Amino acid sequence: MRNELIDSLTRVLATPTVNRSTWRVVTTTATTTLWALLGRSLAQPQSALASTGSADSTDVSKGCLVINNDGTCPSGTTKRPQPGNVPSYNGCGPEGGSIKIPQGYGKADYRPACNGHDLCYEECGTPKSSCDTNFHTGMDESCAAAYPGPLNSLYRFGCYERSYAYYEAVSRFGDDAWIAGQKKACECCKDQIYCSCNKKCYTSASACTSECRASLACNTGICGPATAEQCPA
């Protein structure tokens, strides 16, 4: 059943159309399983999905913790970029996958938006919703550029319909891909306090003020939350 559904969707996606009802059938009556598969395919390169295991925040690496399986950090830690991570992108669809996703609509090219979406999922700390919204905006902009003016309004509308279908897929079913991207790109490091008077890092503000002998330390800018540059993991 899954293969037949994928084949049907691929045929609809592959040919530009101005038939509104056809797209409404695709976007509103496709099965949850199909959209879940499409959402995962559109959302992230296969290399990013395959690079993360099931490890939770109990694993320790280089003094930092791995991200929780829901994409968050353990209490008392903050996301920081994973040293050496190289973000990956591969257009629209899974890298080396069997599900072939059209890369646009007629003259409109969705690949820049798809590549940007892949990269966004690997931007440490960037909310999934922001990536998905920018993805939708980018595809719509390619539609407007490819089909400008009133004479192209029907084709432009068809392009917008496909753009919305892609957006819905990743918005509703791309959570796993976003979490995989965050796990690949980030690590969770313990929050630290930076003391500007002696340029040292501490695990608490009281330790900073004690060594600096400053009673109003945090209120006068002597100590405060450290940046990754000030206190590297």
Domain boundaries, the chain: 2-188, 192-225
Q: Using alpha carbons, list the distances in angstroms from residue 200 to 76, 165, 221.
A: 19, 51, 14
User: Lowest mean pLDDT: which of 46-60, 155-169, 172-186?
Assistant: 46-60
Q: Residue 61 has what pLDDT?
A: 40
Cβ–Cβ under 8 Å, residues 116 and 135:
yes
The pTM of this model reads 0.67
Q: Which of 31-40, 120-129, 139-148, 182-191 has the lowest mean pLDDT?
A: 31-40
Give me the residue label for tokens 């280089």: 62
Q: What is the pLDDT of residue 158?
A: 96
**Helix (H) or strand (E) run with residue 189 in it:** strand 186-190
Mean pLDDT, rounded, for 194-205? 69
Of 121, 127, 156, the C-alpha closest to 140 is 156
Letter string b/e over residues 175-198, b meaning 16 or more CB atoms within 10 A of that residue's CB:
bbbbbbbbbbbbbbbeebbbbeee
Residue 44 DSSP symbol: S
- What is the average pLDDT value for the chain, to the nearest integer? 75
What is the band of 139 on the pLDDT scale with cuts at 50, 70, 90?
very high
Which run of H or of E encompasses 9? helix 2-14
Give CA–CA dist 71/65, Å, rounded: 12
Q: Which residues pair with 105 in a beta bridge?
A: 108
Average pLDDT over residues 203-227: 61
Q: Which pLDDT score is estimated for 127? A: 94
